[in-house]
Amino acid sequence: MNNMKIEGIGNRALLLAAALVLGSISANASAQTPSNSGYVVDQRGAVAKSPFNLCWRTGYWSPAMATEECDPDLVPKKPAPPAAAPRAAPAPAPQAKPPAPAPRIAPVTQKITLSADALFDFDKSVVRPDGKAKLDDLIGKIKGVNVETIIAIGHADRFGSDAYNLKLSQRRADAVKAYMVSKGIAANRIHTEGKGEKEPVTKPGACKGKKSPKVIACLQPDRRVVIEVIGTRAK
């Protein structure tokens, strides 16, 4: 009988001790679970986890209490920031204006035929005063021209020998050159040539007969000096 009483007392003591231990654990767990959290935390304030690294949820846990650490799939995702608007391409740098084209250079070719009788006395090679006036007129016309070449070609009629007429036509072309040089035209720009009677402009048989005033007058077109000016003039 005494043994039974002692055993009953021992059992009650064990139950009382177990209740005290459970109460202490419950109080400790409650102290480590903030009222605003759905997870159990340890004494350091960190979320308590199982050996499988799963968070311990409290009895009042709800999806609204989910955290990234414990339940990342339940945490609402933040909307992705709007894509930046594409940057407008910078405006192309203004290009320098191309240089103005050089002024157009117009070629100048002037050809004039002067009668030898207008320049010289018959069978002479000295420029007459009225012949100088005609040359002055030509020189005035080519002012402002960048002269490259002036060609003076003398011609003679059929009277006289070929050799004589060749020399006469050359002397007349040289006389024209000398006068133009005296007016300021560079000598190296003027070329002379004597053709003699080789290039008549009268038609064959047009001035028949021996030397006479009539025949001499008929052959007048053959006695000539052709002057050609070649150069350029800026427009």
Measured in degrees and rounded to the nearest 5, phi and psi for residue 156 equal: -135, 165
Q: What does the block give as tokens for 171?
A: 């002397």
Q: What does the block give as tokens for 137?
A: 């007129």
Kindly report each contact of residues 12-17 with a partner whose C-beta sits within 8 Å and lies 24 or more positions away, as own/partner: none
| 115: helix, strand or coil | strand
Alpha carbons 88 and 214: distance in angstroms, whole number: 94
| Contacts with 209 (C-beta within 8 Å, 6 or more apart), sequence order | 215
Q: What does the block give as tokens for 4?
A: 């039974």
Q: What does the block give as tokens for 36?
A: 């605003």
Domain extents in the chain: 28-74, 105-234
| The CATH number fitting domain 105-234, selected from 1.10.150.20, 3.40.50.11810, 3.40.50.720, 3.30.1330.60 | 3.30.1330.60
What is the strand order of the sheet 190-194 is part of?
105-115, 224-234, 146-154, 190-194
Nearest to 185 by CA among 141, 119, 129: 141
What pLDDT does 20 receive? 41
Query: CB-hemisphere CA count at 13 Å for 189?
Result: 16
Per-position pLDDT tens, the chain of length 235: 444 444 444 445 444 444 443 344 344 444 444 545 688 787 787 887 877 788 878 877 777 788 888 888 777 777 777 777 777 777 777 777 778 776 666 676 777 788 887 888 778 888 989 889 999 998 988 888 888 899 999 999 999 999 999 999 999 999 999 999 999 999 999 999 999 999 999 998 889 888 899 998 898 888 889 999 988 875 6
The partner residues of 226 in beta bridges, in order of sequence, read 113, 153
Q: What does the block give as tokens for 21?
A: 């231990």
What pLDDT does 234 receive? 58
**DSSP secondary structure of 154-187:** E---SSS-HHHHHHHHHHHHHHHHHHHHHTT--G
Query: CB-hemisphere CA count at 13 Å for 164?
Result: 7
Q: Are 113 and 155 in contact (CB under 8 A)?
A: no
53: left (phi over 0), alpha (psi -120 to 50) or beta: left
Alpha carbons 132 and 150: distance in angstroms, whole number: 17
Alpha carbons 106 and 109: distance in angstroms, whole number: 10
What pLDDT does 235 receive? 60
